[in-house]
Amino acid sequence: VLELLRRGRNVVYSDADVVWFRSPETYFLDAIPSSADFAFQVYERPTKEATLRGDLALNFGLFFARSNE
């Protein structure tokens, strides 16, 4: 992943049991603020308080990393 980011490529990572009918990159580019370099799946929607504490249950089975090179 790091090598692709260094080459200026955005990365969408998903587990092998996911099927994409079209590239999800457009969705991620439109849905995630350009100030965010990384977006990932969480196991459940966290409360505002949990988010402020950094108390999140991350799931790295799906994530998007934006190149800032």
pLDDT tens per residue, range 14-59: 999 888 899 888 888 898 898 999 988 877 777 888 778 877 777 7
Token pair of 53, please? 């504490």
Question: Do the beta carbons of residue 1 and residue 7 sit within 8 Å?
Answer: no
CA–CA distance, 23 with 34 (Å, rounded to integer) = 19
Rg (CA), the chain: 13
pLDDT score, position 54: 77
- How far apart (Å, rounded) are the C-alpha atoms in residues 26 and 38? 15
Q: Give the CA angle between residues 21, 33, 35 to the nearest 5°.
A: 130
Question: For the whole model, what pTM was predicted?
Answer: 0.73
